[in-house]
Amino acid sequence: MRLVQVKRRQHSAAIPKDVHPVVARVLANRGLDQVPDYRLGKLLPPTLSGLEIASELLATAICQGQRILVVGDFDADGATGVALAVRALRAMGAVSVDWRVPDRFRHGYGLSRQLVEELSEPLPDLLVTVDQGISSHAGVRAARQRGFKVLVTDHHLPGETLPEADAIVNPNLPADDFASPHLAGVGVMFYTLMAVRARLREKGWFAKRREPRLDQFLDLVALGTVADLVQLDGNNRLLVFQGLQRIRAGRCAPGLRALLEVAGRRLQDVQSADLGFAAAPRLNAAGRLDDMSIGIRCLLADTESQASDLASQLHQLNAERQSIQADMQEEAEAQIENLLSTLDPEVPAVCVHDPDWHPGVVGLVAGRLMERLQRPVIAFAPAEPDSTELKGSARSTAGVHMRDLLASIDAARPGLISRFGGHARAAGLSLEAADYDAFVDQLGAEAARFPCQSERIDSDGPLASSELTVATAEVLQAAGPWGQGWPEPLFDGRFRVLERRVVGQAHLKMTVQPEDGGDPIDAIAFRAGDWCYRELPDRLHLTYRLDINRWRGSTRLQLNIQHFVEQS
């Protein structure tokens, strides 16, 4: 929890008068003059470049009974994309669909040559990547040398050259003008499957078999889209909205249901935040600590008992991940304190490293430190025990494009970084341990050319005491989905602190009262328990979100505190 300056959003769009006034204000603050229409018919049509060739490859493979191998990534986006592809292709009539996922520790990211060489008989006729492949030049080349056709579906930014695949579908290709370039990997696969079904329809494939509805798989698309933190533009919001509708109605994969239930979520009340903070971490824990195959098998499970068993394994892995992360976080923060005590406090970027850290958790550590320091952070761990290679995970603020920063380092010192890739806010890289100090120096030099911009905390303004109700929270939830690039409503106001205590060892629980009067309200600030022991004033200016706390049949409003506001 950090002190911030708040700026209140001010837009003048006019929302129809029959809309709840708080919802109307929130939508107007986001530049809308009407309530978004999330009907499925409003989904953008499949017009991505490459779909014509890609759909023909897959449709031919299905019609001819060819062997199809889907190769994903070891995060939640990749796992949901694989599960989506396997379920949908089988529903379309594919007789031989198998899947593989790289091992984070042996294969590294993407379609590696090693993974391709490990494939054994019967070999696939067509290899399809999901959420990766756009930078896998060697792996694609190795696959084609072994006689496979290769279809790359990905959403990551391409490099200067493209892999020599038979077809590539990626909304971020330079020549692609698709109106929703922020699709997650699972979203790209969904659009690919839409085109495949259309091609099969043209071929008369469904004349003697049932044509599947693809919207039945939107629960998986929603989970992967939210988990990957892609920007929720209008098209992505529609995909997530439709997926959430199916989840709440109980029409979701048994594995997703089990993941939410093991996390203590009620299906009928699920919000996008539950996908991001409950289901996704448990799914990601498999790829971070063990093998994402567990997560994919969970999403592919057809029975409740299979799904429950696999979800329980993922729940245990997530608990282990949390323990490892907590220890690493403590060590990393100690390193940061030592570093900042000897360096200019305005150092533009920070690296942390420990030979005992787990490579699957460094991204989470980097993210937490970035939130605290508000500058790019890269956390490193050995690629595997006794390895001479380090794997790093980078997280950045809104003002510094992380992948561009790594590219500038690579251009200035070719060969210093073994490989890298990613997005504006998150990236991954590998380098030799012997080059760590040189990398830190070069990072400092290059980061100085990417000045950090203070992230502005935009508030939707204050709420009156009469608006601080469960009913208001419910209409705001219904107006979602909220997420990356389409922020959940955030309000600010002044409150009297009536009570405060630490719960769960790390969270600050308070009872507060609006300064303009009104009834006392429960409030919680997650991971802010240390503030309980500071000299906080009795009156605080807070930013908060409206939550509904459901416990043992009771329903109460709870303020989810996000920041303490600096007094100007």
**Using one digit for the tens of pLDDT, what is the confidence trace for 8-31?**
776 666 777 788 999 999 999 998
Q: Are 422 and 402 in contact (CB under 8 A)?
A: yes
Q: Are 72 and 131 in contact (CB under 8 A)?
A: yes
Tell me the pLDDT band of 448, cut-offs 50, 70 and 90: confident
Q: Is residue 328 part of a domain?
A: no
**Could you write out the DSSP letters of every residue in 500-562?**
EEEETTTEEEEEEEETT----EEEEETT-GGGGGS---SEEEEEEEEEEEEETTEEEEEEEEE
> CA-to-CA distance for 220 and 229, rounded, in angstroms?
15
Q: Count Cβ atoms below 10 Å from residue 536 Cβ, excluding itself.
A: 14
Q: Is residue 97 part of a domain?
A: yes
> CA-to-CA distance for 168 and 148, rounded, in angstroms?
15
* CATH number of the domain residue 429 falls in: 3.10.310.30
Please tell me what DSSP assigns to residue 483: B
Q: Are 405 and 396 in contact (CB under 8 A)?
A: yes
Nearest Cα to Cα of residue 514 among 460, 464, 565, 459: 464
- Residue found under tokens 């995060």: 75
Based on the fold, state whether residues 204 and 74 are members of the same structural domain.
yes
Based on the fold, state whether residues 140 and 223 are members of the same structural domain.
yes
Q: Is residue 557 part of a domain?
A: yes
Based on the fold, state whether residues 266 and 193 are members of the same structural domain.
yes
Name the packing angle between helices 185-202 and 218-227 (round to 10°): 150
pLDDT, tens only, 69-108: 999 998 999 999 999 999 999 999 999 999 999 887 777 7
Q: Are 39 and 491 in contact (CB under 8 A)?
A: no
Q: Count Cβ atoms below 10 Å from residue 500 Cβ, excluding itself.
A: 18
Based on the fold, state whether residues 436 and 465 are members of the same structural domain.
no
Based on the fold, state whether residues 279 and 177 are members of the same structural domain.
yes
pLDDT, tens only, 323-347: 888 888 788 778 777 766 665 666 7
Stretch 479-485: mean pLDDT? 92
> Where in 301-453 does DSSP place strands (E)?
350-353, 377-382, 389-395, 419-422, 426-432
| Higher per-residue confidence, 401 vs 107 | 401
% of the chain with per-residue pLDDT over 90: 65
Determine the distance from the C-alpha atom of residue 285 to the mean position of all C-alpha atoms in its chain, rounded to a whole number.
13
What per-residue confidence (pLDDT) applies to 551? Answer: 77
Q: Is residue 336 part of a domain?
A: no
Stretch 541-564: mean pLDDT? 90
What per-residue confidence (pLDDT) applies to 413? Answer: 94
What per-residue confidence (pLDDT) applies to 13? Answer: 65
* CATH number of the domain residue 544 falls in: 2.40.50.460
Tell me the pLDDT band of 433, cut-offs 50, 70 and 90: very high
HSE-CB of 225 using CA atoms within 13 angstroms: 34
Q: Is residue 327 part of a domain?
A: no
- Residue found under tokens 């072994």: 146
Stretch 448-460: mean pLDDT? 75
Range of the domain at 375: 343-447
Which contiguous run of DSSP H or E holds residue 423? Answer: none
Least confident of 175-179, 364-368, 448-452: 448-452
Residue 465, Cβ density class (10 Å: 0-12 exposed, 13-18 middle, ≥19 buried):
middle
Per-residue b/e over 46-69, b at no fewer than 16 CB within 10 Å? bebbbbeebbbbbbbbbeeebbbb
Q: Is the peptide bond before 122 cis (omega within 30 degrees of 0)?
A: yes
Last residue of a domain, one of 447, 480, 503: 447
What per-residue confidence (pLDDT) applies to 443? Answer: 93
Based on the fold, state whether residues 148 and 244 are members of the same structural domain.
yes
Q: Is residue 56 part of a domain?
A: yes
Determine the distance from the C-alpha atom of residue 415 to the mean position of all C-alpha atoms in its chain, rounded to a whole number.
30
Based on the fold, state whether residues 349 and 443 are members of the same structural domain.
yes
Tell me the pLDDT band of 452, cut-offs 50, 70 and 90: low
Say what the pTM is. Answer: 0.85
pLDDT, tens only, 274-289: 999 999 999 998 887 7
Based on the fold, state whether residues 438 and 463 are members of the same structural domain.
no
What per-residue confidence (pLDDT) applies to 455? Answer: 59
Torsion of CA 126, 132, 138, 139, to 10 degrees: -40
Q: Is residue 495 part of a domain?
A: yes
Per the structure block, which two tokens stand in for 189?
């696969």
Beta-bridged to residue 153, according to DSSP, are 130, 169
Based on the fold, state whether residues 90 and 120 are members of the same structural domain.
yes
C-alpha distances in Å from residue 128, one per residue of 61, 200, 534: 11, 18, 55
Q: Is residue 155 part of a domain?
A: yes
Last residue of a domain, one of 407, 425, 447: 447
Backbone angles phi and psi of 554, in degrees to 5? -100, 150
* CATH number of the domain residue 234 falls in: 3.90.1640.30
What per-residue confidence (pLDDT) applies to 48? Answer: 97
Stretch 439-451: mean pLDDT? 87
- Residue found under tokens 């729940």: 315
Query: Has residue 402 got a pLDDT over 60?
Result: yes
Query: Has residue 68 got a pLDDT over 70?
Result: yes
Based on the fold, state whether residues 53 and 21 are members of the same structural domain.
no
Farthest CA pair distance, the chain: 74
Stretch 117-140: mean pLDDT? 95
Nearest Cα to Cα of residue 444 among 385, 393, 377: 377
HSE-CB of 306 using CA atoms within 13 angstroms: 13
Tell me the pLDDT band of 197, cut-offs 50, 70 and 90: very high
> CA-to-CA distance for 269 and 260, rounded, in angstroms?
11
Query: Has residue 4 got a pLDDT over 90?
Result: no
Q: How many structural domains are present in the chain?
A: 3
What is the pLDDT of the chain when averaged over all its residues?
90
Nearest Cα to Cα of residue 564 among 5, 12, 41, 11: 5
> CA-to-CA distance for 425 and 400, rounded, in angstroms?
8
Nearest Cα to Cα of residue 567 among 517, 513, 492: 492
What per-residue confidence (pLDDT) applies to 345? Answer: 62
Based on the fold, state whether residues 303 and 180 are members of the same structural domain.
yes
Based on the fold, state whether residues 362 and 409 are members of the same structural domain.
yes
